[in-house]
A and B are shown apart, each in its own frame.
Chain A
């Protein structure tokens, strides 16, 4: 365990070495010195009282004073630009054809697994389309200017990458901070971008895995931080006998001691990524304040603390409680649609927990949300009635509304009310159900307080659709 923690620390330090030379934002400070020349001319007539003969002999008493001054003042301009080509929180790809006999069944995009089988001892089976998955946590890419400024080359790192061809964990390749080199060919240069991307990835350290990953993909996005990708690739590498995957694998035991495993597999996959933002090179020279946005809201965490009248999750006894449950949305986007002057939005979240009370709960992965975004006070307040359908692993229909007050650019507070009806559905497996609570159907209204962190609400002035209005 100590060795693993030491490895984590070293991997973090190693990756920081490279992240340190690049940042999220680039600041330019320029000084303009403005020079102003000013000439003051004074005409003074000192007339003595009484009459005086002015003529040829006596000159005029009028004097002229001309004073020239120069004023110089500095105008300092600070400009903030994005410094990255791509910055993403989470990417998931459901892999097809990477291991048919031991298919894990990770579902479309790799995010709809059979939760009952989510254990290291599971050895998969046949008849499942998505045999494995590719997962990336924390993706960063920066511009690479080589080959005489050949466009759209990037280099970057992924915080943690896991490529699992099937359910056999000893064949899963994993790496902290693998290095990636990418080249994009843009087919569409307007939002949402469409590009063909070639990638070469390398994980040089032997633990957890040492591997290379070569792939080509068709990328659509980003819009609201959402991207959809189709991958074709080949990954190959080695898990040493000391690697975590080999040590916990049920394939090895006292009679069959751990040994290094070579894992080479081609794959085809369909993936999705959230909070994953892509800039083209011209956008690196566009100030942040002038960037184009397509969504009403993009956020990492949205929490509603609610009262639904159900028994509370916060108290184990039967006494009444003001709060009974919560709604938690992680990695949310609300993309404006061209309906009702772009007020209608389509939204989703990576994970959506709807917990109305003890035993009345459910979870949704990539739920479908349709709503109406109405700005009440510019730059401060907005309301959003919505209808949401959670289809997997729980089935929940959720109608509600939120009143949002922007506190800062990343923190919002408000009130929320709604009605949720559905059932937990037993797709979680008996082990998980024992931990999480009973499987139950529920229908309840609720009212609650909402608070959001790292959640940015956009107003009409920010959206690209209103720029020229």
Chain B
């Protein structure tokens, strides 16, 4: 009986140690451009890294993407809504105090695309609706004060803002939603031109 206990306790312990998991994920961009840092801002089990270069964000998932030192960002990702309403994307913000930070927000949902700046609604684009299992490429181009939002190959909005450029892209699922992000690329503006 005692011998069994000797064996059982280390096994139980190992089970707990395996739960000690880092909350940041390195994403491989596959372009010799260094890795993208991904930070899980929500609980364990809400974010799954798939094939080293894509991320599945489940319900209540909150994910921050960052390429250290790059602020003149061109963020390019393919959003595939698997379940639910859609996804919330925040640009020109930081992971610190992310709920209250002034930012440019894109709400891409089954009701359409809305763009907000510093909490104010800028535009509603009902034409661009998210659909289940229909991947859409979302590109956000930062160019000093100007920014462009591209859906697939259409420039759907061009705006000007005083919000400083930052390194971050924050992604959060809308309630009861599950989203797959693939083809993630965070390039500096010039890099992006060269890659074309």
Contacts and interface: CB of A to CB of B under 8 A. Distances in A.
Interface of A: 18, 21, 28, 30-35, 37, 70, 72, 74-75, 77, 79, 144-150, 155, 179, 181, 202-206, 210, 212, 238, 260, 262, 285
Interface string B143-166: 011000000000000000000111
B145 A35 contact: yes
B11 to A, nearest CB: 9
A179 B46 CA distance: 25
Interface stretch (B93-101, B117-125, B129-137): B93-101
Nearest to A204: B13
Interface residues of B, number: 33
Contacts of A70: 144
A33 B168 CA distance: 12
Contacts of A32: 71, 94, 164-166
Interface string B1-27: 010011001101100110110110000
B186 to A, nearest CB: 13
Contacts of A72: 72, 144
A285 B71 contact: no
Interface in B64-113: 69, 71-72, 94-97
B60 interface: yes
A18 B17 contact: yes
A202 B12 contact: yes
Most chain B CB atoms below 10 A, which of A18, A31, A79, A238: A31
A367 to B, nearest CB: 40
B44 A146 contact: yes
Most chain A CB atoms below 10 A, which of B10, B97, B144: B144
Contacts of B43: 145-150
B41 to A, nearest CB: 10
Contacts of A149: 42-44, 46, 60
Given A32-B166, A149-B43, A149-B46, A210 B71 contact: no
B45 interface: yes
B167 interface: yes
B190 to A, nearest CB: 13
Contacts of B10: 204-205
Contact of B19 (A146, A238, A285): A146
Given A37-B145, A148-B46, A202-B9, 18 more contacts: A28-B95, A28-B96, A30-B94, A30-B96, A31-B71, A31-B167, A33-B164, A79-B96, A144-B19, A146-B44, A148-B43, A148-B45, A150-B43, A155-B20, A203-B9, A204-B10, A210-B6, A238-B5
B142 to A, nearest CB: 9
A32 B145 CA distance: 13
Interface of B: 2, 5-6, 9-10, 12-13, 16-17, 19-20, 22-23, 42-46, 60, 69, 71-72, 94-97, 144-145, 164-168
Contacts of B97: 285
Contacts of A34: 164
A387 B10 CA distance: 51
Contacts of A155: 16, 19-20
A181 B15 CA distance: 12
Contacts of B44: 145-146, 149
Contact of A210 (B9, B96, B144): B9
A269 B19 CA distance: 31
A37 B9 contact: no
Nearest to B12: A202
Nearest to A71: B144
Contacts of B20: 18, 21, 155
Nearest to B22: A21
Most chain B CB atoms below 10 A, which of A147, A148, A179: A148
B40 to A, nearest CB: 8
Most chain B CB atoms below 10 A, which of A70, A145, A149: A145
Most chain B CB atoms below 10 A, which of A150, A181, A206: A206
A220 to B, nearest CB: 28
A206 B43 CA distance: 34
A75 B44 CA distance: 32
Contacts of A37: 144-145
B101 to A, nearest CB: 10
B5 A146 contact: no
A202 B166 contact: no
Contacts of B69: 31
Contact of B167 (A30, A203, A238): A30
A203 B13 CA distance: 8
Contacts of A238: 2, 5-6
A205 B42 CA distance: 33
Contact of A35 (B5, B6, B164): B164
B60 A35 contact: no
A31 to B, nearest CB: 5
A144 B45 CA distance: 12
A85 to B, nearest CB: 14
A238 B5 CA distance: 9
B16 A179 contact: yes
Contact of A212 (B9, B17, B167): B9
B90 to A, nearest CB: 14
